[in-house]
Amino acid sequence: MAKVARDVMTPDAECIGENETLLDAAKKMAANGYGAMPICGEDNRLKGMLTDRDIVVKALAKGKDPSSSRAGELGEGKPITIGADDSLEETLQTMARYKVRRLPVIDGHDLVGIVAVADVARELSDDRAKGDLIETISEGPPQQKVSSPH
Confidence (pLDDT) at 79 = 87
Q: For the chain, state the CA radius of gyration.
A: 15
Domain ranges of the chain: 5-138
- Residues of the chain whose pLDDT is less than 70? 1, 125-150
What pLDDT was estimated at residue 140?
57
CATH fold of 5-138: CBS-domain (3.10.580)
Other Cβ atoms less than 10 A from the Cβ of 77: the count is: 10
Strand 16-17's sheet: what is its strand order?
A: 16-17, 36-40, 46-51
Q: Classify 13 as helix, strand or coil.
A: coil
